Chain A
Amino acid sequence: MRKILSLALGLAAGAALAGAGALPASAAEKLKAAWVYIGPVGDFGWTYQHDQGRKAVEAAFGDKVETTYVESVPEGPDAERVIEQLARAGNKIIFTTSFGYMEPTLKVAKRHPKVMFEHATGFKRDKNVATYNSKFHEGRYILGQIAAKMSKTGTIGYIGSFPIPEVISGINAMMLGAQSVNPDMKIKIVWVNSWFDPAKEADAAKALMDQGADIITQHTDSPAAMQAAEARGVKAFGQASDMISFGPKSQLTSIVDNWAPYYVKRVKEVMDGTWTSTDTWAGIKDGEVVMAPYTNMPDDVRAMAEATEAKIKSGELNPFKGPVYKQDGTLAAKEGEAVPDKDILSMNWYVKGIDDKVPGQ
């Protein structure tokens, strides 16, 4: 008996603490909107930026909207439970902000036809499920050009999270940008197999610098790599958030995720009753991919970066414009054409000039 009691005591303590994670939602006339996050809002990366977007919605609509979020929701069955709860709590629009929420979002959406769902980075839609994503690779192309101008060793160090199309297309875009300035640029790629592990990201940055890379780029979420580069006086690019405070002398620029315009627009559409299921893939032109100020570089490099950014914005330049060659020499896009969107979204090959293999291929 005592044993059972003590077990119950321990579990009750755990349950009470776990329950404290979800925020309460009170009934009101306001439009209720909810966000589901993969990480903590304090990651200063992916989730942090989504939460900035949520705050922008609050700022834009004030009393007319009530927002809720649930952070650190694992992908899988837990996600379905959380999304279901949010749908039942009277939210009219729910943003699920990680790739792995795709199936749970669709399942819950079927049961709640009057609730609008928005799934980030996915590719399956329904009548009440829209998808949205950003063209981060547009920013990566600019990074590549800057890197080629700034590097003395001719080697870029790239910290990857997982070898998925979004990350691989970023590596390719960066290389294409670099090759447009210096065809002999080299890249060293280290995968940390995590989106967020500051100590490991710092270790990866140090390993790359030890091996002669003098420009550090990351596709992971913490500012650890930037800080490691700053400590050694090496130049680096930030990711997701402007990381200038972690690398005042190192940061060349950051690719900043700006979800605010999209979130404000979509919430407005729900209020007006004009919301429809769409597939949005926005980039620099739409203000969803924002380049942090170009710093720690000579004026001519800054001018080049700004010119490229302007060309991407106007549609004059497509980072994946042909000719694009794969590693094995086959043509991915002919002269005068560009790699089609669907090929970018499923990219699992490196461009010519990358001296490495895509892991697992």
Chain B
Amino acid sequence: MLDTVMIGAVLASVVAAATTLLIASLGELVAERAGTLNLGVEGMMIIGAAVGYATAYSSGSLLLGTLAAVLAGVALSLVFAVLTVWLAANQVASGLATTILGLGLAGLIGAPFVGTRIDAAPELRIPGLTDLPIIGKAVFGQDAFVYASIALLVLVTWGLARTRTGLVIRAVGESHVAAHALGHPVRRIRTLAVMFGGACAGLAGAQLSLAYTPFWASDMTAGRGWIALALVVFSAWKPLWLLAGAYLFGAVSILQLHVQGFGLGIPSQLLSSLPYLATVAALVLISALKRGQGAPASLGVPFVPDR
């Protein structure tokens, strides 16, 4: 049933499916490590998809489209940042409002583009390497978004653990009072972290509407923002576990389609729920093994300086 050509194709699909989740969840991870729980990921992602597509379609430039998507994600994240960081509003309610606003605005922006299409973002092609059996297409034949997601992963992992900026972000997330007492501008740092989250969510949206399925349709993110959010929690706020979670989710969601295609008679409803079950099981196991490394202590707590 399986040959090397098919395994190669499956791996390539897995990488693409995991990339959306990895990009969006890396951004949210940084925002949460700084202490802000932004439930607006789905909204920032879809606005990125809509603005990215609209720009790429109108200008003919995928690069411009991607940039516009990132900026749109940042713009929407600022709405959330103003409400929660500067006006100390409830983060859960504001995040939900951000998602609702994003979905509505995206539908409005995208309306004139329904039914149009563009060419997908080009895939890398290195003669020799891309033709390698099994891993060739998965490793050397992807679009720029995939390589960007890996670069982002390295940046976030290294940045959070090894740089002074990362230390300050973590300090703000663990105890904003202590960080404030040390003279760190808590609100400015949180705003920047939220903006980073918005940029990543916008980029993930662009990956959907410019590379994965290069067209615009309302609600095309179909809940991936929420999965990205869940991955952050289950990864115990560790970027490398996020990588594992995103790829596990991607792998199971592609493989279950193949299992169905073989007609083994396993109920498709069960198979469709497998990505969720497998990811939850694996990540619960991870966090159980690493007890005591829970959420950032100030996550979701509004900060009001010097009362």
The reply on A280 being an interface residue by CB < 8 A is: no
Known: A43-B217, A211-B6, A224-B213. A199 touches B222 (CB 8 A): yes
The reply on B298 being an interface residue by CB < 8 A is: no
| CB–CB A192/B272 < 8 A | yes
A119-142 contact mask (Cβ, 8 Å, vs B): 1 or 0: 000000000000000000000000
* Cα A222 to Cα B217 with chains together (Å): 8
What residues of B have a CB within 8 angstroms of the CB of A206 in the complex? 9, 13
What residues of B have a CB within 8 angstroms of the CB of A40 in the complex? 107, 217-219
Within 8 A of B (CB), among A304-322: none
What residues of B have a CB within 8 angstroms of the CB of A2 in the complex? 88, 304
What residues of B have a CB within 8 angstroms of the CB of A41 in the complex? 111, 218
Q: How far is the CB of B190 from chain A (nearest CB, A)?
A: 15
The reply on B114 being an interface residue by CB < 8 A is: yes
What residues of B have a CB within 8 angstroms of the CB of A359 in the complex? 267-269
Name A227's contact: one of B92, B101, B215, B268 (CB within 8 Å): B215
B114-125 contact mask (Cβ, 8 Å, vs A): 1 or 0: 111100100000
Q: Please report whether the interface of chain B is mostly helix, strand, loop or mixed according to DSSP.
A: helix
What residues of B have a CB within 8 angstroms of the CB of A245 in the complex? 115-117
Name B217's contact: one of A188, A198, A200, A211 (CB within 8 Å): A198
Known: A42-B111, A199-B212, A356-B265. A10 touches B90 (CB 8 A): yes
| CB–CB A196/B268 < 8 A | no
What residues of A have a CB within 8 angstroms of the CB of B258 in the complex? 207, 210-211
The reply on A275 being an interface residue by CB < 8 A is: no
| CB–CB B267/A203 < 8 A | no
| CB–CB B107/A42 < 8 A | yes
| CB–CB B217/A207 < 8 A | no
Interface residues on B, range: 35 or more
What residues of A have a CB within 8 angstroms of the CB of B111 in the complex? 41-42
B185-206 contact mask (Cβ, 8 Å, vs A): 1 or 0: 0000000000000000000000
* Cα A187 to Cα B17 with chains together (Å): 25
The reply on B253 being an interface residue by CB < 8 A is: yes
What residues of B have a CB within 8 angstroms of the CB of A72 in the complex? 219
| CB–CB B89/A7 < 8 A | yes
The reply on B220 being an interface residue by CB < 8 A is: yes
| CB–CB B222/A241 < 8 A | no
What residues of A have a CB within 8 angstroms of the CB of B219 in the complex? 39-40, 43, 72, 196
28 examples of A-B residue contacts, CB within 8 angstroms: A6-B88, A6-B90, A10-B89, A13-B83, A13-B94, A14-B93, A14-B100, A17-B104, A18-B100, A41-B218, A42-B216, A45-B217, A188-B261, A189-B261, A190-B260, A197-B222, A198-B215, A199-B220, A202-B212, A203-B253, A207-B254, A210-B258, A211-B6, A227-B213, A245-B115, A245-B117, A359-B268, A359-B269
